Amino acid sequence: MQQRNSNIELLRLVLMAFVVLLHFNNDAMGGAFVHVRNLPIDNFALHFFESLGICAVNCFMIVSGFFLYTNSKIKFGKVLDILLIVIFYRYFDYFFHVALGSDVLSLKRIVAYFFPDNYFAIFYLICYIFSPYVSRVFRELSDKQADFLTAAICILFVIVPTCLDMAIDLHVFTPGFLSPIGLNGNGAGYTIVQFMVCMSLGMWIRKRNIQVKTFALWAIYLVSSLILTIGIKKFPSLYNYCSVLTVVNAICLFLLFLKIDFQSKDINYAAKSCFAIFCIHTRGFAAELWRQYFVTEEHLSSGLVTTLLWTFISIFAMFFSCLILSIIMRFVFGKLKDTICGKLPVVNCEE
């Protein structure tokens, strides 16, 4: 088995912590932004950390593209593995609520919950299935051709959508006007197009062996995050996944971790739970625990130090609770899952 790169595994853990932070802040789950809305300093601090982490999904796909650059096979066992994780924790959440009496046992619900409802998993798997063909294109292109293709992709699907979305923020255009992504607009970057763009960027970085000085990467990443924090009030679309600044931050963060060289079995083992952490903490019971015990006005309206301290405690508690649950579930069901997935075929796309 090929040894995992601990620097990239550490990056995956950091990115997942960022995702937990994003969900801690947003109104639909944690709701932290609601409690600091009238506290300028606290609000700025939470938005700055949001700006540091908003690139997480893009960065995940850049990481995937980087390592799928040499891929020529579709492993259907991997496809099933990801789907089973989504379905398992969907059922886990459902039966958790049934056990507490806040939901009822229903055959209709049991059947409905068999179908995965995770947008990231669906988009990622589509990219994965197409990755052998996309990577072959990048491998066979000359460096100049790959540069041109990547530039065209960035102009059409990052720069143009950013400009259009900012114009919409200023009420210059209506949503969907001239969008190269979809009839109804850019979808805030929650599209298969954005996932393919970031996967392609990862492949281009691998092909061209992109190197940037560490100081420059940190400077770009932090300045870009500061611009996001300041600009988000006038231009909410800057937080879109297809925003130029969000994509730039993802590239910088990836290149920073790519420079690190170390090996750690513990990091590699923990990183195997990244996707499970994502699935667990986005379920209903996790949001309920957050709102009931962690994200309250009392905790987030008592000054900047208390707000930041409680934010990190909340993220730490959610992240490691999900990690521990994932490790337990992997210990109990891991061998069965691996046996089932291992029986599925592998397709070589170059034969």
Q: What pLDDT digit, counting tens, does each position of 263-309 carry?
A: 999 999 999 999 999 999 988 777 777 777 776 666 677 778 888 88
**pLDDT at 73 (0 to 100):** 92
Q: Is 328 exposed, middle or buried (0-12, 13-18, 19+ CB in 10 A)?
A: exposed
Contacts of 266 (CB under 8 A, 6+ apart): none
DSSP reduced 3-state for 170: coil
E strands, 100-149, where? none
Low-confidence ranges of the chain (pLDDT < 70): 1-3, 175-177, 295-299
**pLDDT at 287 (0 to 100):** 75
**pLDDT at 1 (0 to 100):** 44
DSSP reduced 3-state for 13: helix
Q: Which residues pair with 73 in a beta bridge?
A: 348
Place of tokens 């600009």: 231
User: Contact at 8 Å (CB) between 149 and 141?
Assistant: yes
User: Cα(235)–Cα(233) distance, rounded to whole angstroms?
Assistant: 6
User: Contact at 8 Å (CB) between 284 and 89?
Assistant: no
Sign of the torsion angle spanned by Cα atoms 222, 245, 272, 324:
positive
| H or E element in which residue 73 lies | strand 73-75
User: Cα(277)–Cα(319) distance, rounded to whole angstroms?
Assistant: 7
User: Cα(147)–Cα(165) distance, rounded to whole angstroms?
Assistant: 26
User: Cα(327)–Cα(36) distance, rounded to whole angstroms?
Assistant: 34
Tens digits of per-residue pLDDT, 5-21?
A: 899 999 999 999 999 99
User: Cα(265)–Cα(268) distance, rounded to whole angstroms?
Assistant: 5
**pLDDT at 295 (0 to 100):** 66
Query: In this prediction, what percent of the chain has a pLDDT beyond 70?
Result: 97
**pLDDT at 254 (0 to 100):** 98
Q: What is 139-159 written as a DSSP string?
A: HHS-HHHHHHHHHHHHIIIII
User: Cα(86)–Cα(334) distance, rounded to whole angstroms?
Assistant: 14
Q: Choose among 271, 119, 87, 135: nearest CA to 194.
A: 119
**pLDDT at 176 (0 to 100):** 61
